[in-house]
Structure 1
Amino acid sequence: MEKAGPEREKIRDYRDLSVWKDSMDLAVDIYTLTRAFPRDEMFAMTSQMRRASTSIPANIAEGFGRAQRKVFIQFLRVAQGSLKELETHTVLSRRVGLLNEKQADDLGLRYEKLGKMLVSLVRSLERNGGER
């Protein structure tokens, strides 16, 4: 499996994947944002958003580690589901006033980009066959 783009470096580890790096950055930012949530949300929205955000890079890593193309694709699809879950929690957080409009909009743009990256990786894996 190779990266698209001019460098075309060989992917040796999940940590080489831009989609994993971006999803890790997103998870860190979700932890930071949810620190400002009220204490009574600790076991509700805070927990849900953190769990969904960490599930995205974790599933990318786990799928890559299985070393089978079809299984990796399955885990990437689980990561996509976690991204949609996080998006839903973000919309709800905005609607109930836990996030402001700018925070929610900024996250929405990141979710869109990350979603496109996941879809692109799945399509590339489906198209190219062979070893991961």
Structure 2
Amino acid sequence: MNVERRLIKRYRDLEVYQTAFDAAMEIFELSKQFPKEERYSLTDQIRRSSRSVCANLGEAWRKRRYKAAFIAKLSDCQAEATETQIWLEFSVKCHYLETERARALYKSYDKILGQLVLMVKNSDQWLIH
């Protein structure tokens, strides 16, 4: 067991969770300026998918006794992170977000996806035995 893993006692301690939470909060703040006609479409979708990354990480953390369930929840996190990236692209194309702000968020989700891939690849290190 490596030193960094021993310091992680709950899902909130995970760097990937902290990055995803910060990105979701930034999306929430930015999406407040989206047009009202997007309230029940793009605004809700991007908020939901960005928050879902965090929610699924919390669920994955609680399912560490079962490798398949743990990996399935991490896979859900990856899907939600990718969905968020797609909504970011739509937000730029619809001129709701500045390209540079969206690009920075997109890169955050690339980092999140990379960390999730590593967690899946090294899932045995995270399991409760």
Q: TM-score, normalised by structure 2?
A: 0.89
Q: Give 1 or 2: higher helix fraction.
A: 2
1:6-44 per-residue CA deviation (whole Å, 9 max, x = no partner) reads 645343211121111111111111101101111111111
How many residues align? The count is: 128
Structure 1 residue ranges (4+ consecutive) displaced by more than 4 angstroms after TM superposition: none
Aligned in 2, Cα 1:131/1:37: closer, same or farther, shift over 3 Å?
same
Name 1:11's counterpart in structure 2: 8
After superposition, residues 63-74 of structure 1 pair within 5 angstroms as 63-67=60-64, 68-74=66-72
Aligned in 2, Cα 1:69/1:86: closer, same or farther, shift over 3 Å?
same
After superposition, residues 1-132 of structure 1 pair within 5 angstroms as 7-67=4-64, 68-126=66-124, 128=125, 131=128
Q: Is the 8 A contact 1:20 1:57 kept in 2?
A: yes
Report sequence identity in percent.
30
Higher relative contact order, structure no. (Cα contacts within 8 Å, ≥ 6 residues apart): 2
Letter in 2 for 1:61: G
Q: How far is the alpha carbon of 1:131 from its aligned partner? A: 2.6
Question: Which structure 2 segments of 5+ residues have no match?
Answer: none
Aligned in 2, Cα 1:52/1:66: closer, same or farther, shift over 3 Å?
same
Letter in 1 for 2:110: E
Q: Cα RMSD (Å) of the superposition?
A: 1.9
Q: TM-score, normalised by structure 1?
A: 0.87
Aligned in 2, Cα 1:78/1:130: closer, same or farther, shift over 3 Å?
closer
Report SS of the residue matched to 2:40: coil
Q: Which moved more, 1:14-23 or 1:62-71?
A: 62-71
Q: How far is the alpha carbon of 1:69 from its aligned partner? A: 2.5
Q: Distance in 2 between matches of 1:50 and 1:76?
A: 19
